[in-house]
Every structure is written in C-alpha cells, then in structure tokens.
C-alpha cells in the first residue's frame, strides 16, 4: 500500500482570508520575517496496489474533477516517500 | 392548473421542508425529489435548497454535485428547465458548472446569520419576474461559504450581460466580488443566490417580512402562463 | 495478538485472586467490594469497566442524588407532565395533541480543553437525548459562561466554543433561539458550556429507553466505534490483560454533525413507521450505559455480541468498546419482523446499522466476545444501584461576611453627569453589551418556524402552522446572586426564566436545569448545591412548574477555587397563537411605558455593583414568587388581548438596561420620568425582581391599568416611546447612536 | 526568499469526518482502490531571509503553538524544494 498526497491551494489571484488571518496574527505571536501565508488543503490517499503511471493518472483525474475546484484552486499530486516523512518530522 | 416544482433532498439538506412550504404558500405544488433517484418526476422546475449537503465536507456542494439526481438535472437545465439554487443549492450549481465562478469561505471566517438587504438587478429571469428592476428587498442570509469569486473575465461578462441578479446593499457580508449575491446563466432559467427567500414568505416568521415570496410566485406565473 | 486467557466470567470465577485496577478506574475500595458482593465473585475486566463508568459521578449522580430527590418529592401537580425525571428528557403536553421535550446539559470541561469540539459534541449529545424521546428537534439554546472578557484565554476559549456550537447546530438545521453569555473571572479555568435542545412530537410518538419483548433485536446504528473517551478502559486493557496495546487513544472527541443529521432523519423515519420498541442514545459511558439502561428499564434481559460492533479502530479491546464514547451513535430495540425495514431505512440514509444482540426472557445482561461470555450481570445493579453519598455540607464561614458587605452602601453617583456616565458604562460592559457578534454566528431561521430569537426575552417556535400553537423557552442563571445566597439565587434564576417566557406572551409550563458547581468534596460547595436544589425545588412547587430533567456538573474548580454556584434554569412555555407574541423592541412612538412591579433599593450582586465598583457582597434581590406569577398572568393576558405592543423583563442592569435594549432594537427612543417616591439612581439601576416594562398604546391605557389595578399589580407610568434618545427628565439624555456605539462595539472589540 | 510548508493532519486516532465523506463518495465517482482518505491543512509560508536551523526552529514553534491544535493534530515542517514542486506538478 502506498500513500499519494494531493495538495490543493487557492489560485494565487484569489484572496485567502484564512492565510491572511494567520499572517496578521504572527507579529502578535512574536514572529517576524514571514511575508506571506497561504492556507490550503492536503489529502492523503492510501492506495491499494502499485502506484504506477496509470494509478497516478487516475488520481490526477480525481483531483481535477473532485478534490479541487479548478475554477478557484490549483492542485499538485505527489507520491509520498516514506523516508521524506520521517525526515521532515524530526 | 398549477405548476409542479421539485425540491431535491440531499443528505444534509436542511431547508427542503421550508422550501416546499414556500412553494405551497405561493400556490404551486411542491414535489419531493431524492438525491439517489435519477428521476425528476417530470416537474416543471427544480429548487436546490439550502443546507450542508454531505456536511459541506471537501467543499460546499462538491459531493452533492455528483449525486444521481444531478445527471438529469444538469441535462434538463441546459435545455431550459428552470432551476433555482439557494445557498447550498447555489454552491452545487457552481460546482456543477451550471453557473460560473465558485463559492469560498466568508472573508471574516465566521458563519453569518443576518437580515440582508439586496437590490434586484435583473427582474427578467424565470425566478424574478414578480420583482421590479432595482427593487430593494430584505431576506435572511445564513452561511459559512458565501463569498462569490470568479476570474475577472467572468465577472465582467456577468456584469455586461446583466447576469448579476442580486447585489448586497449596505454591507457586503462575505467578501463577494462586486457585492454579488446571486447570478443567472445566459438563458436566465438557472438562478443561484446565497440569501434565503424561502425564509421570508410569511409574516411573523423569521424576519417577519415576505420579501422572498415573489421568487415562488414568479416561477408559478411563468410556468402557468407558458 | 494473543490475550491469554480471555477474562471470561468462568475465568473470573476460577481466578478470584487476580488483582484488578479498580482504583485507576475511579472506584473506591468499598465500591469495588460492593461489585464483588453483587456478583458473588470478582468482576471480569469488562464488567469492571461497566461498573466503574456507570458508577462514576457523571453517570450515577452519586453526590447529588440525595438532593435531587426533592424535584420529585416536591413536584407540583401538573397535568402537563407526560414524562418526568429519569428518562432521556422530560416530556410536556402543550395541547392540540402535541408534546414537547426539552433538556439542558453541560459540556464544560471538554470545552475548556478543546473549545470547538467540546462545544460541538455538547450540542450533539443533547440533541440525541431529544431524538431518543421520539421527537423532532426544533431548536437549541446555549447558556455560556467565560472568564473575564479581557483575559487572553477567553479569546482562545470563547470564539472556539461559539464556532463549535454554531458549526454543529447550524449543520443539523436547528435554529439557535436563545442562551446567555456571562463573563466573570470565577469561570477563568472553568468555562461553563451548557446546551439545551427542544423537540416536538405527537403524544402517540413518545418513545422510552427500554428493551422489552424477548427475541426483539438490539440494533446499533450511526458512527463506527472508536477509542474515544476511554482513558480508564485503556488502563484496564493494557495493565491487566494485554501489554501489546497501542497507547494511542484520542484525548478529544471530534463531532460529525453531518452523521448526526442523518441519524435524526433515519430515526424519525423509523419512528414514523412504528418500527421501534425502545431506543437509547449513546452518550457518556457509551454501550455500557445504553445496554444496561435499556435492559434494566425493560421487562427481560439482553444478550449482546460485541464482535458485531462496527469499529473505527480494529485494535480496540472489549473493555474499550464497552466504554467508548464515540459520538453520533444510537441503539434501538426492534421486533424481528421489522428489522429488515429498519436496516433498509438506515441504508437509505447511508447510516451503518448492525444487529448486535437481542432481548432475552431472563433478567441478565450477557455480553460475548470471541465466543466467551465476558459480562453476566443484573443490569439494574449497573444502571440504577450505584453508590449514593451523603456528602457532608456546611454553610461556609465566609458567608456572613460576604452578606454583611452591603452593596447598598456603595458610593452612588453624585451628579447627573456621573449618573449618565455610569449608564453608558453599564450598557457597554461586557455582560450587558450586545451579544450580536456571537449570536449572528448561529442560524436563527432554519426550519421556518422561528417566531422569536435572540435578543428577545425568550425564543419562540411555531409548532403548528394551522393553529399557530407555539412554544417558548428562556434560560437564566446568575452566579453572583447565587454566591450571595444560593437558595435565593436559584429561585431568582427560576423567576427570571419564568418571567422571560411570560414577557413574550407564553404560559410557563415546566423546567429543566443545569446545575454547575465546584467540588462536592468541599462541604461549602456541597452546601451551595444543597441550598440551590432546595431553592429550585421549593420555587418550582410554588410556581407550579415541575422540573422535568436536567444535568449536574460538579468539580468546576481550579485548585481550591470553585466557580460561583451557577444553577442555570430553563423554562418552557406554551402560547396558543404565536401571532399574539410580544417582542422586546419598541413599536410605535407615543406609546406609554409602564413599569410593572415594585422597585426597592436592591443592589447586592447587581450589574451596577460589578461594573462600577467591581464589588460582590450583600444580599441578592428578594424573591416573591406569588408576585412573579401575578406578573406573568398580567403579561400573558395583555398579550392575548392586544393591550401591549412590546415588553421587556427587568433583570441585570435594571430598568435602564431594559429600556435601552428596547429602544435600540426598535430604533425609537424613550423619555423617562422618575416616579414619585424613587430617586433616579434606584429607579434606573435597582435589580428588584418581579418587574417588567411594557409599552401600552394610548387606546389601551385604561383597559390595561384597570386590569393591573383589579388584580393588585403595581403599574407605574414612567415615560413614553419618543425621539432618538433615551432621556431621563431632569437628569440626562443619551442618543441612540451613542448608546448603540457602546452597546454593540464592546464584544467585537474584545474578540474579533 | 524561500517557502516553508507546514502540513497539519488530524492525529490518526481522531475521527476525520471530512476524509471519510470524501472516501465514501469515491465509488460513486468510479474510483476504486483507495482504502483511506484523510484531509488536513497545508500552510505555505514565504520566509524572508535564509531558512536556517534557527528559522526552522521558530517555524516549528509557530506550528506547534498556532497552526496546529496539538490536542488533535500532528504537523510536519518542510522546506519546499523548487524542483520538487515543478516535478510533482507536471
Ligand atoms: N450564547 C447565546 N446564544 C443564543 N442567544 C443568546 C446567547 N447569549 C445571549 N443570548 C440572547 O441574547 C438576549 C439577551 O440575553 P440576556 O441579557 O441574558 O437576556 P435576559 O437578561 O433577558 O435573560 C436573549 O435573547 C438571549 O437568549
Ligand atoms: Mg430578559
């Protein structure tokens, strides 16, 4: 079983009040030096069977037609490397 | 003779009974439609009502849009069947691309429930014939994801073609572009708006005004006179 | 994973010396010994799990039971009561064949830990109680209390709680029609998140939580069972029986309002087709509670196969499954011939439903796991025979000093200018300020039957579209009053809620309550509790409004510091025709303002003493329940006969607060005249109970004053609806704009 | 300027109604073979200056105290490699 991740973010030209709310709060929390924050969604899909070209193509379709609304959102499909997770979490 | 107006119930629909009541008060015959049936029961028009279909999980309206009932609905709407989307129904219509643009979370990030003033910008759609062009009305607004967005070209086209049907007055309650509260498709048979006309059809109840009733009498007249 | 051996009943009998972690599960030694005595052997792990959770304070009311009995013993005669205390919620007859069920519950601690989810699941829980009675939920209310308004943690807790209540209730399609928001430093570490719900049904649809009829099936439906809220059971599972347990169990429960909405619809559809013999929601103590209560309230026993429970987490042990508090689950008892249809309805709504057992003709509750019998108990001993404590209680030694610190002696405004400044300060203080920023996050309109919602004195819902029959509900509580005198404080809460219902024109019928207190192990707290219950029970007897149910929340304290004793009272009323309801807002210029009731120098616990002097001392206002009853009769008659166009009850903040609210809501000012015998300060700020201000059309003045005179209710003309300011003749005037600015900006400035 | 990403997901033992709703919809859309879906949040932070150990530590604090609610959520902080983005998006 493998994990495929779909990241969905608002298109850059669309106002992201959630991201802005986070950014506005940063100085209050004592964080400087972050010039922009955007908030999006992350989907983790557990895929049965091999994640080959065909499987990825299908997930791409799924993201395009369902997980993202491409009128307002962009998306990225990635296969999650187990190592990467461990690395990042440390 | 009266008209038969369908109201679709999705899992998580909330205002289906209220919408059927409003249709009844207007003098038409409400017909309950079920999301799992690929069947519109030969109704003369359809209302997609408010609520949180599928909990509004993923995006408001995104999961409902793939319900079996949407297949005939999309097909017939394109062929001219009058369809009104209220709140969640509006969201479903944009997700189904029957109306352009999309709906996002309110810019203040809160659910908002208020008595909202609107201006009727287009009194010629299937659902607004009983209003006067430019008329100001107040009906309840209540939602989490009411911010209408679209790319600049789409918004320009909507404005140029008179397809903005309602505009927020006094306050823009959610950050919608151009204060847009409701829009229509090119043919004028499909209309979507965020505020809830079905909650403004009886004196005493809700805000106590009946500013929403003309939606339902408009469509009735149009269908009966057709 | 091998558990060797499974702790079955036989195994327990054969291994009497095995030590069980009863202390870690919260049982006292004598309680554990009592379990052993009941069973005649040591309990199995699963049995211990059930007893420990069902005998907890939360489920067994062991500290409060001896006092709560008064609600039954002193219950007034009432034709309206259809189902009383003891069921999931009480049921009241409101006429025309309709019955109404309502109840208030607390979700205090979870809401402090995780404000959004804690408050959300609080709404979910109370709504399931209402569905379990057979009713369609029609509205919710949310009495809330937080720490100081300007404390940083309030900014964490309040927005989350409000978003959670809205997020859940809005998604269920339940209009929120009332509640309270109170700030006081005493709630800093212990916010009070109480939630109430009302449901409506026809008399014949009332359902009870009981399992009868041998052979009938027990169906669990709704969400899958996960490891929610099972801290204790996990200890049991890991330490005693199985060390290969995953330690990860959720610390917080997440609500799924969408799932609950489906539960409402499929339950009501099953009721409508008469498929259900008995029903119980799963709340605290989950399946332990549902199975033992269903079985003990029915005629027979019950056999349950735990392996059939659909799980979200396959590693759960049987003890954990029994104790899991996963949300959005219900348990129904259904005749065998109707099971298929019941499952069909669940499938229609995409709700998972599973037969997990059946009613037997014995009198035991037997539960099986992997073929072994792990529970064999008399369900009554689990559900009803929990321990009962006679906790010591004593009037605290500081009570006299507190009462002697008389608020009536505080310095009063010395000039008209000072009086005006204090009015402005009061109206803009967090407790008196508009709560619109909060309540606009709640849907008031859904279901299309809302006649009145906040900021009206009570919420009102139309029940019948043809006749206009409606119900009203108000919740009130004042911890400051109750701290000064818990007996009187509880009666004041009752009196205020009763008055709020009557002010809108509805006749008060019945009471639910949520009693929020500190630790019962502190004799001073226990005294507060005992006094409050006594006061409420006596008050309900006198007013003829039975207590139909409620909730007790204890241990609301941080270290030694308990919250103010906070009995919150909900009163339910009925109105024959909602067209006759009386709103708060001034309707028409020129109408005459009458003050009903007596105004005395009563400032103990008042908003004025808090806002201006940060003071709490003296005695709370006196209660006269006969007067409350008379006032209510006048308000109801006046509404029915069209003698008044608006009305507002007087409570915290006194007359000036009420007049300002009516003026701002109606967008019309008032000119007030200080009546003979009163000074302006007392006239404006006193919190004497049993009062209301009404606006009388000139054409009705004679009829109205005659009625008050004939029935002996003091009615004093104090002014007229007029202009764009609130003016007190000879003292000061404040424009509506000025008042609105302070009244409406306070809360957003603190929280937005 | 560099981009740091914070992924916030509900802890595995916590109910994820959103992910479940997505997963239940998949068969209707004709997608088989996805055994689990979890939905979380993705924050993209544009950081001024170098993303060194110290900066990452500060963002870790930010995530822990503000972006994630650690009572119910886990989070991962990653520096986004420009290459990776391009790769995945293709
Ligand atoms: N948390 C809340 N949720 C819903 N309504 C609320 C809430 N807090 C206050 N309200 C409403 O605001 C109004 C004013 O509240 P309050 O001052 O406590 O009323 P009263 O003093 O008459 O009991 C009432 O209609 C009450 O129901
Ligand atoms: Mg009141």
pLDDT at C284: 83
Beta strands per DSSP E along chain B: 4-9, 29-34, 45-48, 83-86, 102-104, 112-120, 136-143, 147-149, 164-168, 180-184, 190-193
Of residues D82 and B12, more confidently modeled: B12
B198 an active-site residue? Answer: yes
Is the separation of the CB atoms in C622 and C743 below 8 Å? no
Is the separation of the CB atoms in D64 and D5 below 8 Å? no
Binding residues of C for ATP are: 61, 103, 513, 550
B87 an active-site residue? Answer: yes
pLDDT band at D85 (very low <50, low <70, confident <90, very high): very low
Query: Domains of chain B (ranges plus CATH)?
Result: 4-225 (3.40.50.880)
- What is the C-alpha separation between D39 and C551, in angstroms, rounded? 36
- What is the C-alpha separation between B122 and B164, in angstroms, rounded? 7
Distance C422 CA to ligand 1 centre (A): 22
Judging contacts by C-beta atoms under 8 Å, the chain D residues touching residue A39 are: 41-44
In the block, tokens 């001993």 appear at C381
Domain segments of chain A: what residues? 2-13+39-89
Q: Is the dihedral of CA C334, C339, C345, C349 positive or negative?
A: positive
* Token pair in block for residue B38: 């690929």
Is the separation of the CB atoms in C430 and C149 below 8 Å? yes
Neighbours of chain A (3+ CB pairs under 8 A): B, D
pLDDT band at D54 (very low <50, low <70, confident <90, very high): confident
- Among C126, C177, C178, which residue has the most ligand 1 atoms within 8 Å of its CB, making it the best to mutate? C178
- Degrees to nearest 5, angle at CA D64 with D60 and D68: 120
Residue D15 vs residues C3, C256, C327: alpha-carbon distances, Å? 27, 8, 10
Using a CB–CB cut-off of 8 Å, the residues of A that contact D are 1, 7-9, 19, 22, 25-26, 29, 31, 33-49, 55, 58, 62, 65-67, 76-78, 84-85, 88-89
- What is the C-alpha separation between C712 and C699, in angstroms, rounded? 22
Q: Which of B87, B95, B121, B199 is flagged as catalytic?
A: B87
Q: Which of B95, B121, B198, B199 is flagged as catalytic?
A: B198
C550 contact B CB<8A: no
pLDDT at C250: 76
- Please state the φ and ψ torsions of residue C448, each to the nearest 5 degrees: 60, 30
**Touch of A by D (3+ CB pairs closer than 8 Å):** yes
In Å, how far from its chain's centre is CA C138? 15
**C448·B56 Cβ contact <8 A:** no
- The DSSP H or E segment spanning D37 is strand D34-47
- The stretch D70-83 carries a mean pLDDT of 86
Is the separation of the CB atoms in C245 and C108 below 8 Å? no
pLDDT digits (tens, 9 = 90+) for C561-618: 999 999 999 999 999 999 999 999 999 999 999 999 999 999 999 999 999 999 999 9
Distance C455 CA to ligand 1 centre (A): 6
Atom from ligand 1 closest to the CA of residue C144: 1
Task: Out of A58-62, B185-189, C237-241, C413-417, pick the least confident.
Answer: C237-241
- What is the C-alpha separation between C350 and C353, in angstroms, rounded? 9
What count of Cα atoms within 13 Å lies in the side-chain half-sphere of residue C725?
Answer: 10
| CA quadruple C92, C95, C97, C102: dihedral, nearest 10 | -30
Q: What percent of chain A has a predicted confidence (pLDDT) above 90?
A: 59
- What is the C-alpha separation between D36 and C535, in angstroms, rounded? 55
pLDDT at A85: 45
ipTM: 0.91
- The stretch D59-88 carries a mean pLDDT of 81
Of C684, C539, C747, C587, nearest in space to C70 by CA: C539
For residue B152, what is the nearest residue in chain A, using CA coordinates?
A13
Closest CA to ligand 1's atom 24 = C455
pLDDT at A90: 40
* Token pair in block for residue C749: 């400035």
C429 lines ligand 1 (CB under 6 A): no
B62 contact A CB<8A: yes
The list of chain C residues with pLDDT below 50 reads 1-3, 238-247
Beta strands per DSSP E along C107-214: 136-146, 176-183, 192-202
CATH number of the domain at D2-13+39-89, out of 3.30.1280.10, 3.40.50.2020, 3.30.365.10, 2.40.40.20?
Answer: 3.30.1280.10
| CA quadruple D25, D27, D32, D35: dihedral, nearest 10 | 50
Exposure string of D48-79, with b = 16+ CB inside 10 Å and e = fewer, is: eeebeeebeebbeebbeebbbbeebbebbbbe
Peptide bond before C196: cis, by omega within 30 degrees of 0?
no
**B175·A17 Cβ contact <8 A:** yes
Cross-strand partners of D8: D41, D75
pLDDT at A87 over 50: no
Q: Is C308 helix (H, G, I), strand (E, B) or coil?
A: helix
Is the separation of the CB atoms in B7 and B30 below 8 Å? yes
Distance C500 CA to ligand 2 centre (A): 5
For residue C349, what is the nearest residue in chain B, using CA coordinates?
B11
Residue B42: exposure state from Cβ atoms within 10 A (0-12, 13-18, ≥19): exposed
**Residues with Cβ within 8 Å of residue B149, at least 6 apart in sequence:** A14, A15, A72, B101, B102, B103, B104, B176, B177
- Please state the φ and ψ torsions of residue C725, each to the nearest 5 degrees: -150, 160
- Degrees to nearest 5, angle at CA C199 with C117 and B6: 90
CB neighbours (10 Å) of residue A52? 8
Q: Is C61 helix (H, G, I), strand (E, B) or coil?
A: coil
Largest CA distance in chain C: 89
* Token pair in block for residue C740: 């609105």
C454 lines ligand 1 (CB under 6 A): yes
State the pTM of this model. Answer: 0.94
Q: Is B213 helix (H, G, I), strand (E, B) or coil?
A: helix
Judging contacts by C-beta atoms under 8 Å, the chain A residues touching residue D37 are: 43-46
pLDDT at C248: 63
What secondary structure letter does DSSP report for C87? B
- The stretch B87-97 carries a mean pLDDT of 97
In Å, how far from its chain's centre is CA C478? 14
- What is the C-alpha separation between C701 and B9, in angstroms, rounded? 51
**Residues with Cβ within 8 Å of residue C165, at least 6 apart in sequence:** C119, C120, C122, C123, C140, C142, C176, C193, C195, C442
What secondary structure letter does DSSP report for B132? P
């Amino acid at each position: 079983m493998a994990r495929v991740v779909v990241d969905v973010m608002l298109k850059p030209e669309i106002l992201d009040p959630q991201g802005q709310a986070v950014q506005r709060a940063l100085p209050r929390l004592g964080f400087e030096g972050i010039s922009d924050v955007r908030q999006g969604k992350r989907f983790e899909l557990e895929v049965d069977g091999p994640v080959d070209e065909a499987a990825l193509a299908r997930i791409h379709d799924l993201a395009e037609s369902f997980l993202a609304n491409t009128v307002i959102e962009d998306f990225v499909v990635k296969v999650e490397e187990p190592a990467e997770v461990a690395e990042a979490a440390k | 003779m009266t008209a038969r107006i369908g109201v679709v119930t999705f899992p998580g629909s909330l205002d289906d009974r209220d919408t059927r009541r409003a249709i009844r008060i207007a003098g038409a015959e409400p017909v309950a439609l079920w999301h799992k049936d690929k069947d519109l029961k030969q109704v003369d028009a359809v209302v997609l009502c408010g609520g949180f279909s599928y909990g509004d999980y993923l995006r408001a309206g995104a999961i409902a849009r793939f319900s079996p009932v949407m297949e005939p609905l999309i097909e017939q709407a394109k062929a001219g069947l009058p369809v009104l989307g209220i709140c969640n129904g509006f969201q479903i219509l944009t997700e189904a691309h029957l109306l352009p643009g999309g709906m996002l979370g309110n810019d203040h990030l809160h659910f908002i429930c208020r008595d909202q003033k609107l201006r009727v910008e287009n009194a010629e759609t299937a659902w607004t014939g009983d209003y006067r062009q430019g008329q100001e009305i107040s009906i309840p607004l209540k939602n989490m994801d009411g911010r209408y967005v679209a790319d600049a070209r789409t918004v320009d086209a909507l404005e140029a073609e008179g397809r903005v049907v309602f505009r927020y007055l006094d306050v823009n309650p959610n950050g919608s572009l151009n204060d847009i509260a409701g829009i229509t498709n090119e043919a004028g048979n499909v209309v979507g708006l965020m505020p809830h006309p079905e909650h403004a059809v009886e004196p005493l109840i809700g805000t106590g005004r009946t500013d929403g009733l003309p939606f339902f009498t408009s469509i009735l007249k149009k269908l009966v006179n057709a | 994973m091998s558990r060797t051996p499974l702790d079955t009943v036989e195994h327990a009998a054969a291994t009497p010396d095995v030590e069980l972690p009863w202390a870690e599960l919260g049982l006292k030694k004598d309680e554990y010994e009592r379990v052993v005595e009941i069973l005649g052997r040591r309990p199995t792990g699963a049995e211990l799990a059930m007893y420990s959770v069902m005998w907890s304070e939360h489920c067994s009311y062991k500290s409060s039971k001896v006092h709560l009995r008064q609600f039954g013993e002193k219950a007034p005669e009432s034709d309206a009561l259809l189902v009383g205390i003891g069921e999931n919620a009480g049921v009241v007859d409101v006429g025309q064949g309709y019955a109404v069920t309502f109840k208030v519950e607390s979700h205090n601690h979870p809401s402090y830990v995780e404000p959004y989810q804690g408050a959300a699941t609080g709404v979910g829980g109370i709504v399931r109680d209402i569905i379990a009675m057979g009713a369609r939920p029609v509205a919710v209310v949310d009495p809330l209390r937080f720490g100081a308004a300007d404390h940083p943690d309030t900014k964490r807790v309040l927005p989350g709680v409000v978003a959670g209540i809205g997020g859940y209730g809005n998604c269920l399609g339940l209009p929120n029609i009332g509640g309270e928001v109170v700030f006081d430093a005493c709630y800093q570490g212990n916010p009070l998140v109480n939630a109430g719900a009302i449901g409506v049904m026809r008399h014949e649809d009332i359902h009870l939580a009981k399992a009868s009829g041998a052979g009938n099936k027990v169906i669990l439906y709704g969400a899958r069972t996960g490891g929610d809220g099972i801290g204790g059971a996990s200890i049991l599972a890991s330490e005693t029986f199985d060390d290969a347990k995953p330690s990860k169990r959720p610390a917080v429960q997440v609500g799924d309002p969408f799932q609950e909405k489906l539960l409402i619809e499929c339950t009501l559809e099953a009721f409508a087709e008469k498929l259900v013999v008995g029903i119980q929601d799963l709340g605290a103590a989950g399946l332990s509670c549902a199975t033992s209560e269903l079985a003990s309230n029915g005629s027979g026993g019950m056999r349950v196969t735990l392996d059939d429970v659909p799980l979200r987490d396959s590693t759960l042990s049987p003890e954990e499954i029994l104790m899991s508090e996963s949300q959005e689950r219900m348990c129904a008892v259904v005749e065998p011939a109707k099971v298929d249809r019941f499952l069909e309805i669940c499938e229609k709504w995409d709700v998972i439903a599973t037969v997990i057992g059946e009613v037997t003709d014995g009198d035991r509750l037997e539960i099986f796991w992997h073929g072994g019998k792990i529970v064999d108990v008399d369900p009554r001993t689990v559900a009803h025979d929990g321990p009962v404590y006679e906790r010591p209680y004593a009037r605290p030694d500081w009570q006299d000093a507190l009462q002697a610190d008389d608020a009536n002696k505080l310095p009063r405004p010395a000039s008209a200018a000072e009086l005006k400044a204090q009015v402005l300060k009061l109206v803009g203080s967090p407790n008196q300020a508009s709560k619109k920023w909060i309540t606009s996050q709640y849907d008031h309109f859904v279901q299309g039957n809302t006649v009145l919602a906040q900021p009206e004195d009570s919420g009102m819902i139309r029940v019948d579209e043809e006749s206009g029959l409606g119900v009203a509900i108000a919740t009130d509580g004042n911890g400051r009053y109750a701290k000064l005198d818990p007996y009187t404080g509880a009666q004041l809460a009752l009196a205020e809620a009763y008055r709020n219902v009557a002010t809108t024109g509805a006749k008060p019928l019945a009471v639910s309550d949520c009693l929020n207190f500190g630790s019962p192990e502190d004799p001073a707290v226990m005294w507060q509790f005992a006094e409050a219950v006594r006061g409420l029970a006596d008050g309900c007897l006198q007013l003829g409004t039975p207590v139909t149910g409620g909730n007790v929340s204890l241990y609301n304290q941080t270290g030694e510091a308990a919250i103010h004793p906070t009995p919150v009272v909900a009163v339910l009323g009925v109105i024959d025709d909602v067209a006759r309801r009386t709103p708060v807002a001034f309707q028409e210029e020129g109408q005459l303002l009458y003050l009903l009731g007596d105004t005395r120098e009563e400032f103990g616990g008042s908003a004025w003493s808090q806002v201006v002097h940060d003071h709490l001392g003296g005695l709370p206002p006196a209660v006269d329940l006969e007067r409350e009853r008379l006032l209510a009769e006048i308000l109801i008659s006046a509404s029915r006969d069209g003698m008044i166009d608006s009305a507002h009850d007087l409570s915290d903040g006194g007359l000036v607060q009420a007049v300002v609210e009516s003026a701002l809501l109606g967008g019309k000012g008032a000119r007030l005249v200080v009546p003979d015998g009163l000074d302006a300060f007392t006239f404006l700020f006193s919190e004497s109970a049993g009062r209301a201000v009404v606006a009388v059309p000139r054409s009705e003045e004679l009829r109205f004053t005659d009625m008050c005179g004939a029935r002996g209710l003091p009615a004093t003309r104090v002014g007229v609806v007029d202009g764009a300011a609130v003016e007190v003749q000879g003292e000061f005037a404040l424009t509506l704009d000025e008042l609105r600015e302070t009244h409406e900006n306070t809360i957003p400035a603190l929280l937005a």
